[in-house]
Chains A and B, each alone.
Chain A
């Protein structure tokens, strides 16, 4: 994994430290990565061909389904 230095203002650093203190993230590094992940997700969202759940369902309704629902996840021997 790459290591990068990030310059932070006092306010930014305190904010990140508070998030860690609240237990939301295990470290400042993890908090920053979570923010980065959000940015990546926003960018990715621009490329997605659907704007609504209806559009998503319509798109996948044309697929030949090999599984039904999430049932196969629960297969266990009795």
Chain B
């Protein structure tokens, strides 16, 4: 049976390690054998910056930041080796499509790159945190034919919407 491709935006991956909400759904997706979870290599930079920013703001210590960095990197490799998460590179097509999304949907560059990666990878949906969910609106869902789901969505609702 062909698997459903689901794109994990960097904020969804971040939920796995740091935030109090959203992890349950992302964990469910990674474990679900009916799904192929995909993210862009760009997510690694966004997460790296997320850690550094918290270190800069003294929310976490330098040691905690380094531990978190090493854990996330190792965990990412573990997920990739178990084929639970596929990290896709940024190729020129994605940039071209992302440029179109910036113009047509008034997206920020990062959001446009994630959306382009998801659409060109043939993903049926994008999992994002609540904040991004508000930005990637219904108009994009309709026009690009891709579902946008917040990480706080109930597992039962995601099952209905994909459907699983």
> A-side interface residues toward B, CB under 8 Å?
41, 44-45, 47-50, 53, 56-57, 60-61, 63-74, 76
Contact = CB atoms under 8 A, between A and B. Distances in A.
Given A50-B67, A61-B20, A73-B53, 6 more contacts: A41-B73, A57-B16, A60-B18, A69-B131, A70-B47, A70-B49
Contacts of B49: 70, 73
Given A48-B71, A67-B54, A69-B14, A76 B108 contact: yes
A64 B58 CA distance: 10
Interface residues of B, number: 35
Binding site of B, secondary structure by majority: helix, strand, loop or mixed? helix
Nearest to B54: A67
Given A53-B27, A73-B49, A74-B110, A60 B67 contact: no
B87 to A, nearest CB: 15
Interface string B42-85: 00001101100110010110000011101101110000000000
A58 to B, nearest CB: 10
A73 B47 CA distance: 10
Interface of B: 10-11, 14-20, 23, 27, 46-47, 49-50, 53-54, 57, 59-60, 66-68, 70-71, 73-75, 108, 110-111, 129-132
Contacts of B130: 69
A69 B70 contact: no
Contacts of B59: 63-67
A73 B42 CA distance: 13
